[in-house]
Each structure stands twice: as structure tokens, then as C-alpha cells.
Amino acid sequence: MGQTLSTLAYLVSSVLFILALRGLSHPETSRRGNMFGMVGMGIAILATMFSKGMGFGGIALVIAGLAIGGTIGTIVAQRIQMTALPQLVAAFHSLVGMAAVFVAAGAFYAPMSFGIGTHEHIHAQSLIEMSLGVAIGAITFSGSVIAFAKLAGKMSGAPITFAGQHWLNLALGILLVILIIAFVATGSGVLFWLIALLSFALGFLLIIPIGGADMPVVVSMLNSYSGWAAAGIGFTIGNLLLIITGALVGASGAILSYIMCKGMNRSIINVLLGGFGSEGGAAAGGGGDADRPPVKAGSPEDAAYMMKNAQKIIVVPGYGMAVAQAQQVLREMADLLKKEGVEIKYAIHPVAGRMPGHMNVLLAEANVPYDEVFELEEINPEFADADVAFVIGANDVTNPAAKTDKSSAIYGMPILDVERAKTVFFIKRGMASGYAGVENELFFRPNTMMLFGDAKKVTQEIVQALQR
């Protein structure tokens, strides 16, 4: 394939990748967005395989790689539980980081294949690009491995801190810059591997102090790093598409991290310095507090009766719905209530669940109509005229402490004003707090009724009661 044709193919792929990102920004267009991405990647692979200089051996290697990687990817994608997606994404990022390290090493040891000079004399500009690629790639690799281990519960999600930690990281960061400068000046192989080693250590040290609750933001930051690493490598090997795709991933990961931090009202510096967020969520007071009013617990039958007679219900899904996989039966419940003439709306908090868009994906999977799903700003004024707020497995995103308690870890986070509804139902298994480990005083309010149990089971029982 001629140079012009392959450049044209890369351009088409880039446009498709941009359309993919645009499509993925809304559940209604996300399938189409995914399709654009897949076609774009298909064109990119074909253009690379048939570009000038790729002999039969090269093509065979690419096909073998595709077959092995594609098989593993398909098996993993079919087996993965929705709730385990964040750790899967972290695991995949570690591979992107490692790939950047390998490509940089390949370019360093075979510069002539990439047209960046000879073994004794690699162009200075390429040495800069390659050292940045290997450093960011190695940090992404070890950082993502730790993020994976924390999210998958293979190691404690609690922040690991020690005295002088930030100073040590700063010193290692300065040492890394010095090594990169020395490498660019000398082109030494020893320095190349020292940069890689130091960056692996730095990735590890940067992520261990970050608590479980902040891990999804970190995963998105590492996603951004992996994009910049790929873009750096794109410059080294002169691949236009890799530069564009890397920059798209880098920029979108950075924007996503910003959006998530805003949703949790935390600054990115605060997240990256670590120390916030425990593993699971400590048990809350449990109603044992002497001056607390008692918790009112109801049965699925009570809930069914009250909801049947309601005019407007706002459903607030959260992480517990994802754990219980209750989205399908929730939609069945909504269908039955709609038949009774009840108006149903869904309220989505930007950080409900454990990854951006978590609730949107689950509701879309259950074929909940998109026009019934509303973002926080749109739906909040409507709670005041709702008869029921049906909170299914959500906790932190409804906690009014975010508005009133300055000492609370979630202070300042925008929340869904469920307490304004006439009655609030909370489906959860017990009195445990949410991910931020903060007690929710709404459980003790007179207009709250707790429906204790697994979200799927309780909703199923409500459905049965509605059918009677």
C-alpha cells in the first residue's frame, strides 16, 4: 500500500475514533459509537499490515498476535461481571503501559527499522520521545497493577502511607528527569533500563497511598497516561495514527478524571496525594445511638401498596443495584406501576456506582427508556413533588451530610435530594455505610422506610406483591 493511501486510511480511522468518543458520550448512541471504534481499529490494522515495508513475516506475526490477543479478550469480556469492570480496565491499562515500554525498547535496539538513525547514533529528538514513552509507560504499568490489585481485593484498599513518602516520590521524580537528560545526551542502554526500573518503582509508590474510594479516578488518570505514552511512541516510530489516538485517549482520560473529581467534590491534587477512602465502608451506627430515633423497617408488601397508590416515583439506583444485578426486575416493577398510572423517573448521580456511566449502562441493559432517565441537575427540583423516592442500593449519593457536615469526607459533593419526597424507601442489606464510609442520617428520618435485603430479591418480592 502506498504512503498516500495508508495516510488516508489512518485519517479515516482517526475520524472514526473521534465519532466513537462522541457516540460513547450518551447511552442511546453508545452502541453506534462502539461500532465506529471497531471499524476504525479494523481499518488501522489493515492499513498497518499492508503498509510499505511489512513483509510476509510481519503480517504473519500481526495475525498471530491478533488471534491470541483477540481470543483472550473475547473470553475475558464474556466472563467478566459488570461490577468487576473497573479492575479489568486497570488490568488492560497495565498492558498498554507495558506495550509502550516494549515499543520504546524495540526502537532503541533497532533504530534503523524505524528510520530514527543508527544504533550508534539515534536522533536526539527520538531519544527524548523514547525516554518519555518508556517512563510514562512503566509508571502506567506498575501503577495500573496496584490499582487492579486494590480494586480486585487482592490487596488492601486502604491507603498505604509512611513518613517522608511525598519527599521520596519528589526525589525519585527529580532523579528520573536527570536520568532522562543523561540518556538523551549519551544514548546509553544502561540509562534506558535505569529509566524503566525507576519508573516502575515510581508507579508503584505513587499509587499505594491512594485509597480504594479514589481508585476509579486513578484508573482514569492512568488511562490518560497510557494515551500520552502511546502518543510519545507514535512520534518515535513516525506513526500518525498512534499520535492522534494516543492524544485522544490522553485528553479524554484527563477530562474524565476532572469530571469524576468534580462529581465527588475532590481536587485532583487531593486525590493524587492520597490517603482518603477506606476499603468497603464501615458499619454505621446501626441505630444503637441513644438519641437516634428508631429505624423504620417495612416489608415489600408495604412498599408495593404505597407505590401502587402513588402518582410519581423517582428511582435512585446505586452501587448495590449493580452488585445485586437488580436492573431487570427493577424495570419489571416500573412497568407494572406504569400500568397502574404511576409516573416513573430515574435519577442518575454522576458518581453513583463505581465507574462513570455505571448506572446508565445497567439501565440501558434492562431497556429502561432513555427519556425516563435524568441527570442530577434536571431531577433534583422534582423530588419535592414526588410521592416516593425509591433508593435501590444507593447511599453516599443521597447523604445530606454532604450539604451540612463540614467535617464529613463527602462534604461539598452534590447529592440527590431524595429526602424531599413524601416517602423514601431504601433497599439495602443492612445499616452499613457506603463507599466513603460516612453514616447516612436519612435512614433515621420519619419519612424513611428501610427495605432490608438484597436489592434483586426485595424488588422481586415487590413485583410479586404488585401482581397479586
Of 176 and 213, the one with the shorter C-beta distance to ligand NAP is 213
Among positions 94-133, residues that touch ligand NAP (CB under 6 A) are none
Binding segment (CB under 6 A) for ligand NAP, from list 27-35, 66-74, 137-145, 353-361: 353-361
213 binds ligand NAP (CB under 6 A): yes
Query: What grid cell was written down for 24?
Result: 460513547
Q: How far apart are CA 162 and CA 208, in angstroms?
A: 10
Instruction: Return the number of the residue (219 or 242) whose C-beta is nearest ligand NAP.
Output: 219
Site membership for ligand NAP, residue 271 (CB under 6 A)? no
Residue 61 host element (H or E): helix 56-79
Identity of the residue, 184 or 333, whose beta carbon is nearer to ligand NAP in the bound complex: 333
Q: Does 428 bind ligand NAP (CB under 6 A)?
A: yes
CA dist 255 and 9 (Å) reads 28
Residue 171 parent element (H or E):
helix 165-186
Among the listed ranges 2-10, 297-305, 332-340, 389-397, the one in contact with ligand NAP (CB under 6 A) is: 389-397
Total of residues contacting ligand NAP (CB under 6 A): 33
Q: How many residues does the chain have?
A: 468
CB environment 235-261: b (16+ within 10 A), e (fewer): bbbebebbbbbbbbbbebbbebbeebb
The interface mask with ligand NAP, positions 165-204, x = CB under 6 A, is ----------------------------------------
How far is CA 55 from each of CA 60, 259, 285, 407, rounded to the nearest angstrom? 9, 45, 68, 64
Question: Which DSSP helix (H) or strand (E) runs through 428?
Answer: strand 423-428
Q: Does residue 345 sit in helix, strand or coil?
A: strand
Distance CA 351, CA 358 (A): 8
Q: Which of 147, 264, 307, 348 binds ligand NAP (CB under 6 A)?
A: 264
How far does CA 156 lie from the centroid of its chain?
A: 19
Q: Is 351 in the site for ligand NAP (CB under 6 A)?
A: yes
Active site residue 454: no
Strands 343-348 and 373-375 turn out to be parallel
Element (H, E) at 451: strand 448-452
Catalytic one of 214, 387, 396, 405 = 396
Rounded distance between C-alpha atoms, residue 439 and residue 349, angstroms: 18
396 part of the interface to ligand NAP, by CB under 6 A? yes
Contact with ligand NAP (CB under 6 A): which of 23, 187, 246, 356?
A: 356
Tell me: does residue 355 bind ligand NAP (CB under 6 A).
yes
Q: Indicate which single residue of 159, 320, 342, 368 sits in contact with ligand NAP (rule: CB under 6 A).
A: 320
Contact between 150 and ligand NAP per CB under 6 A: no
With contacts defined by CB under 6 A, name the span among 241-249, 268-276, 286-294, 319-327 that binds ligand NAP: 319-327
Strands (E), 331-401: 343-348, 373-375, 388-392
Q: Which stretch binds ligand NAP (CB under 6 A): 39-47, 132-140, 362-370, 432-440?
A: 432-440
Residue nearest to ligand NAP (CB): 434
* Binds ligand NAP (CB under 6 A): choice among 143, 157, 246, 434: 434
192: left (phi over 0), alpha (psi -120 to 50) or beta: alpha
Q: Interface with ligand NAP includes 436 (CB under 6 A)?
A: yes
From residue 122, give the alpha-carbon distance in Å to each of 73, 112, 118, 189, 238. 36, 9, 6, 12, 14
List the one residue from 132, 352, 421, 465 that touches ligand NAP (CB under 6 A): 352
Q: Judged by CB under 6 A, which stretch of 55-63, 109-117, 141-149, 426-434 contacts ligand NAP? A: 426-434
Residue with cell 429505624: 295
Give 94 or 433: the residue with its C-beta nearer to ligand NAP: 433
- The verdict on 362 binding ligand NAP (CB under 6 A) reads no
CB 217 within 8 A of CB 355: no
Among 32, 123, 403, 429, binds ligand NAP (CB under 6 A): 429
Phi, psi of 427 (to 5 degrees): -95, 120
User: Which of 204, 432, 445, 447 touches ligand NAP (CB under 6 A)?
Assistant: 432
Residue 134 and residue 199 in contact, taking contact as beta carbons nearer than 8 Å: yes
> Which CB, 73 or 430, lies closer to ligand NAP?
430
Q: Which residues are catalytic?
A: 396
Binding site for ligand NAP (CB under 6 A): 213, 216-217, 260, 264, 281, 318-320, 323-324, 351-356, 358, 393-397, 427-430, 432, 434-436, 454-455
